[in-house]
Each structure stands twice: as structure tokens, then as C-alpha cells.
Amino acid sequence: MSTERIESIRKYYTRTQFEYGLLWNWRLSNTPALHFGYYDEVATNHHEAINRANQVMADWAGIRAGDSVIDAGCGLGHSSVWLAKNRHAHVTGITLVPKQVKTIERFVAKKRIPNVNFLVADYLHMPFEDASADVVWAIESLCHAADKSLFYKEAYRVLKPGGRLVIGENLRTDRPLDPAREYTLKEMFEAWAIPDLDTEAEHREHAQNAGFHSFESRDVTKHMMVSYRNLKEICDRYAGFCKVIYKAKIISKLRFDNMMQSARHYEAIQQGIFTYNHLLAKK
């Protein structure tokens, strides 16, 4: 990624880690988690839904004991740890954010979790040999890349023949949207250090151009809606307080915008501005 893009992502996640911890409860059972939860008949609360999101993606990708997995854009390592503990995979989580690696390494050291490690690295230039991984995993991280086709090419490079790329991601429903919805999408996601979303067709084209022989997409928006609603309710609850401390210059504009724009995602997804999809490509 460009230096400017890297710094934008680092600044966002470094400065908002406190909010994620306080408001999204990323210390679920002492396991850091940043991503949205997948609700169904199995998972009916936040803790269960966060783990269920990992399970559904892992099942679809066929992740087995002994698989070598790269968690590309691992955040605070929840999926990495889950895959190591529940699928007995050998997982390397990579993130651009040094603070995230320090946070998760403290957790892993205390829990003595085997077969998982973390690196500060760019998923567009992964420090791994060609054909060295069974699975590349990306949950709510590919969105941060300005040119998402580069990620597909890099994932293809590091995957073994037969390897799988599995992604959990927000997708724009069209390009372009009407002007009002286009503006809403841009305003919301730029507050999360996300330059743009791609459509399903664009993701499919990226996969095909990179060399993947198959590409599948599942729209799982209905399973994620409780998480989006929870996010809106949390942000609405603290909006007044957030405005006060922003005006008092206690928090930065970045942190203020993060809170204000996060409250808008639930309505935006209802309006058909974007969907939440699971994607699977095979080498």
C-alpha cells in the first residue's frame, strides 16, 4: 500500500482501539474481537455471533487441522486465535498496526495458545514464499485497500495449488449509486479509513484476473443485521456525550467521526447501499 494509506489505517486503529474495547466489547471471554457477528438459530447473542462468523467462514473454506492459514488484516487476532484453537490450524496474523500486534501478543502469551503468531506486515506485500499457504483469510480487512485487485493477486501468489481465499466483506450494491447514496457511502466508510467498496462483480473480476479458477459469493446480510443494529444503538446511546467531549477537545475529530458515522451503517444497509457477503475463491 502507499505510505499515505498505511498511515491512515494505522492512525485509525491506533486511536480508536479504546472505543472498540469499551463499546464493542472486544474482550469477549478475554479474546479480542473487532468484526461483526453472524446471527442464526445457533448464535443468538453477541459472544456467540462473533464466534459463529468465524465458524461459518471456516466451514465454507474447509479449514482443517494442520492447514497453514494467513489471517490478512487480523486486527486484534480474534479469528487467528479461534482458528488455532478450534480448527488446530497453523495461523499467522498480519496487520499494519503495531499497537494491535502488541495487544494480541500479550493475550496469546498469557493464554499459551500454540500454533499462532502475529506480524506487522502489508497484505499487499506479504512476507511469505510463493505457494506456501493453504488458506488466506480476510474478514472485514480487504475494504481498506484502495485497489483490491492487488490483494487477489498477492493471495494467489502465496496460496498452494488447491488453496482457498475466504473473505467476509461489505460490498457496494452498484457503481455508481445515485448521488445521494454515493455520498453517504463515501462519508461513512472514509470515517473508518476505507477508501471505497467494490461490487460483487468487481470482486469476481479481480479473482478471475488473478488466476483463481472458481469464485463464489454468498449474501449473508440478513445474518449480520443484529450486529449492525447493535452498533447503531450503542453509538446513539453515547452520541450526546461524544459531542460534548469533542467540543471540549477531549477527543479528536477522527474519533468523533468514527462514532457518528458508525451509527449510520444500519440504515444504510437497509437502504441497499451495501451488503455483507462471504466470498470464496480457489486456486
The domain locations on the chain are 3-282
73 contacts 142 by C-beta, under 8 angstroms: yes
Asked whether residue 30 carries a pLDDT value surpassing 80, the answer given is no
d(CA 164, CA 214): 10
Q: What is the mean pLDDT of the chain?
A: 95
Q: What is the pLDDT of residue 20?
A: 86
Asked whether residue 28 carries a pLDDT value surpassing 60, the answer given is no
pLDDT tier at 62, thresholds 50, 70, 90? very high
d(CA 88, CA 81): 10
Q: What is the pLDDT of residue 112?
A: 84
Q: What is the pLDDT of residue 225?
A: 98
Q: What is the pLDDT of residue 107?
A: 85
Has this prediction a pTM greater than 0.85?
A: yes
d(CA 42, CA 32): 21
User: What is the dotted CATH code of the domain comprising 3-282?
Assistant: 3.40.50.150
By mean pLDDT, which of 19-23, 44-48, 64-68, 150-154 is the weakest?
A: 19-23
State mean pLDDT over 277-281.
98
71 contacts 137 by C-beta, under 8 angstroms: yes
Q: What is the 3-state secondary structure (H, E, C) of the chain?
A: CCHHHHHHHHHHHHHHHHHHHHHCCCCECCECCCCCCCCCCCCCCHHHHHHHHHHHHHHHHCCCCCCEEEEECCCCCHHHHHHHHHCCCEEEEEECCHHHHHHHHHHHHHHCCCCEEEEECCCCCCCCCCCCEEEEEEECCHHHCCCHHHHHHHHHHHEEEEEEEEEEEEEECCCCCCHHHHHHHHHHHHCCCCCCCCCHHHHHHHHHHHCCCEEEEEECHHHHHHHHHHHHHHHHHHHHHHHHHHHCCCCCHHHHHHHHHHCCHHHHHHCCCEEEEEEEEEC
The three-class DSSP label of residue 150 is helix
Asked whether residue 115 carries a pLDDT value surpassing 60, the answer given is yes
Q: What is the pLDDT of residues 136-193, one digit of tens each?
A: 999 999 999 999 999 999 999 999 999 999 999 999 999 999 999 999 999 999 999 9
95 contacts 73 by C-beta, under 8 angstroms: yes
State mean pLDDT over 197-212.
98
State mean pLDDT over 60-81.
96
**Which residues are CB-contacts of 7 (< 8 A; sequence separation ≥ 6)?**
none
* CA angle centred on 231, ends 228 and 237, rounded to 5°: 140
C-alpha radius of gyration, the chain, whole number: 18
Q: What is the pLDDT of residue 110?
A: 84
What is the percentage of the chain residues whose pLDDT exceeds 70?
98
By mean pLDDT, which of 15-24, 44-53, 85-94, 150-159 is the weakest?
A: 15-24
Q: Is pLDDT larger for residue 110 or for residue 9?
A: 9
Asked whether residue 27 carries a pLDDT value surpassing 60, the answer given is no
